[in-house]
């Protein structure tokens, strides 16, 4: 307690007895002590001013103005530091496009539609067409154009070639032309902007293209590396000799009546980088398969000989010695191939992953034993219409742990037939076969 003064008035409450002024309290929370020796700090604490308010951490409050930090202006009463008074004023709301034309939403939505549905949706409005005409929505698709669809008939009766800008915008790398002539192909090359370099694959079906048309097409379309000729009966083997280019890596020839052994000679000599060859020709013999050399042996991994009726086991000998790196082989419809030919395949083509022996009526259970013993990497085996296959042959296949797909359609001596499926796991098909033949 403080004592009265001389005039009877009490001393100021914050003035110590010795008349010395105390230092103000420090913000470290330890309080302040009198500078007089022996004066207890507890007696001086009632006279200390209240500690300054503690500011919130910078991460929890907005920065204060410099004037307020310097002891000048203070925020209005009733508002927390860093509160709404220091928040930025919100601007006008951002206008977003409607959901029906929002490109971000459309880019994700259009993946759920088929190619035919995308063609219809592209006609709804310009916004949808702009999104749908991106090449990513059409990758892997090949447009099919018939000869009558390549021209528009004008009021005067004249024909005008159609506008192909929509195809160019979608970035198609391959085309299939049906029923076209040499003139139609020239018009296509002149009117399609990407024909010279952008087209990688070309397919001609049931067309009247001649040797001259084939030569012009492959000379002008320098980007073509995959070529298919089906049902084209007007070009000859001379056209292949004059037009084939070394850049071609995939070739398919089917139902072309002028293709025989000499055509295989042109293919083997002019296409050293050929990786895939599919041939359906009724007049090709064992002599043609002898034209393959070591040049194709390093690059060719797929060979399909479809309905080549004149090929025998001697032709198979030429194939296995010239093309040792094959991973896919089809002898479908080669009706003169027997178990001995399959034995040659199994002993020499150990890298095979796919083997098609469908419509080979001379194949028996012995051929399946050769397959099971030597082809340890085989994943797909097609035995459709192999009428001599029995359950005994299937028991051999049950030991193949790598086999995933087996086709046994119209094998009348097999019962029951396990369904052909692409969903078998490694070894699962062998277990199913083992159970089927018990």
CATH number at residue 360: 3.80.10.10
Domain annotation covers residue 342: yes
Domain annotation covers residue 429: no
> Do 414 and 285 sit in the same domain of this protein?
yes
> Do 161 and 121 sit in the same domain of this protein?
no
Domain annotation covers residue 39: no
Domain annotation covers residue 32: no
Per-residue pLDDT tens digits of the chain, which is 438 residues long: 444 444 455 555 554 554 444 545 555 444 444 444 444 444 444 445 556 555 555 444 445 444 444 444 444 554 454 555 556 666 666 666 688 888 899 999 999 999 999 999 999 999 999 999 999 999 989 999 999 999 998 888 888 999 988 888 898 989 999 999 999 999 999 988 888 888 999 999 999 999 999 999 999 999 999 999 999 999 999 999 999 999 999 999 999 999 999 999 999 999 999 999 999 988 899 999 999 887 788 899 999 999 999 999 999 999 999 999 999 999 999 999 999 999 999 999 999 999 999 999 999 999 999 999 999 999 999 999 999 999 999 999 999 999 999 999 988 888 665 554 444 454 555 555 555 545
> Do 149 and 117 sit in the same domain of this protein?
no
Domain annotation covers residue 111: yes
Domain boundary among 226, 259, 292: 259
> Do 214 and 288 sit in the same domain of this protein?
no
What pLDDT sits at residue 52?
59
What pLDDT sits at residue 230?
96
Domain range enclosing 122: 99-137
> Do 280 and 404 sit in the same domain of this protein?
yes
Residues in the chain: 438
For residue 83, what are the contacts with CB-CB under 8 A and spacing of at least 6? Answer: 62, 75
CA-CA distance, 248 to 276, in Å (whole number)? 10
Domain annotation covers residue 430: no
Alpha-carbon 435 to chain mean position:
37
Tokens 């991460």 belong to residue: 59
Number of domains in the chain: 3
* Number of Cβ atoms within 10 Å of the Cβ of 249: 16
Domain boundary among 209, 229, 259: 259
> Do 177 and 120 sit in the same domain of this protein?
no
> Do 414 and 351 sit in the same domain of this protein?
yes
> Do 158 and 174 sit in the same domain of this protein?
yes
What pLDDT sits at residue 42?
45
DSSP label at residue 170 = H
Q: What is the greatest pairwise CA distance in the chain?
A: 142
- Contact, 408 vs 389, CB < 8 A? yes
> Do 279 and 414 sit in the same domain of this protein?
yes
> Do 327 and 279 sit in the same domain of this protein?
yes
> Do 334 and 413 sit in the same domain of this protein?
yes
Domain annotation covers residue 81: no
């Amino acid at each position: 307690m403080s004592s009265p003064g001389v005039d009877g008035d009490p001393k100021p409450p914050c003035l110590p007895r010795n008349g010395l002024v105390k230092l103000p309290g420090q913000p470290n929370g330890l309080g302040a002590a009198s500078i007089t020796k022996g004066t207890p700090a507890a007696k001086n604490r009632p006279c200390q001013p209240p500690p300054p308010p503690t500011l919130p951490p910078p991460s929890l409050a907005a920065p204060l103005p410099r004037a307020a930090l310097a002891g000048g202006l203070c925020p209005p009463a009733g508002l927390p530091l860093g509160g709404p008074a220091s928040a930025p004023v919100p601007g006008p709301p951002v206008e977003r496009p409607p959901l029906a034309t929002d490109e971000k939403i459309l880019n994700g939505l259009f993946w759920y539609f088929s190619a035919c549905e995308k063609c219809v949706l592209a006609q709804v409005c310009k916004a949808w067409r702009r999104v749908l005409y991106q090449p990513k929505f059409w990758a892997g698709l090949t447009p099919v154009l018939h000869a009558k669809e390549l021209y528009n008939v004008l009021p005067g009766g004249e024909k005008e070639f159609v506008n192909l800008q929509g195809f160019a915008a979608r970035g198609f790398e391959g085309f299939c032309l049906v029923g076209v002539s040499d003139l139609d192909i020239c018009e296509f090359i002149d009117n399609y902007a990407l024909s010279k370099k952008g087209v990688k694959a070309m397919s001609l079906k049931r067309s009247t293209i001649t040797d001259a048309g084939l030569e012009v097409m492959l000379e002008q379309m320098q980007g073509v590396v995959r070529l298919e000729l089906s049902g084209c009966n007007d070009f000859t083997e001379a056209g292949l000799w004059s037009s084939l280019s070394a850049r071609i890596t995939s070739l398919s020839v089917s139902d072309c009546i002028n293709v025989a052994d000499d055509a295989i000679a042109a293919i083997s000599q002019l296409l050293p980088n050929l990786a895939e060859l599919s041939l359906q020709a009724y007049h090709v013999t064992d002599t043609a398969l002898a034209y393959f050399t070591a040049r194709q042996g390093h690059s060719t991994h797929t060979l399909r000989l479809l309905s080549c009726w004149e090929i025998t086991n001697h032709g198979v000998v030429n194939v296995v010695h010239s093309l040792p790196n094959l991973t896919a082989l089809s002898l479908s419809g080669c009706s003169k191939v027997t178990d001995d030919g399959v034995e040659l395949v199994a002993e020499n083509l150990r890298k095979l992953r796919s083997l098609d022996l469908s419509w080979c009526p001379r194949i028996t259970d012995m051929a399946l034993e050769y397959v099971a013993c030597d082809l340890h990497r085989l994943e797909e085996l097609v035995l459709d219409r192999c009428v001599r296959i029995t359950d005994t042959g299937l028991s051999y296949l049950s030991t193949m742990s790598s086999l995933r797909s087996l086709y046994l359609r119209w094998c009348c001596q097999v019962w029951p037939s396990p369904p052909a499926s692409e969903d078998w796991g490694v070894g699962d098909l062998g277990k199913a076969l083992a159970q089927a033949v018990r």
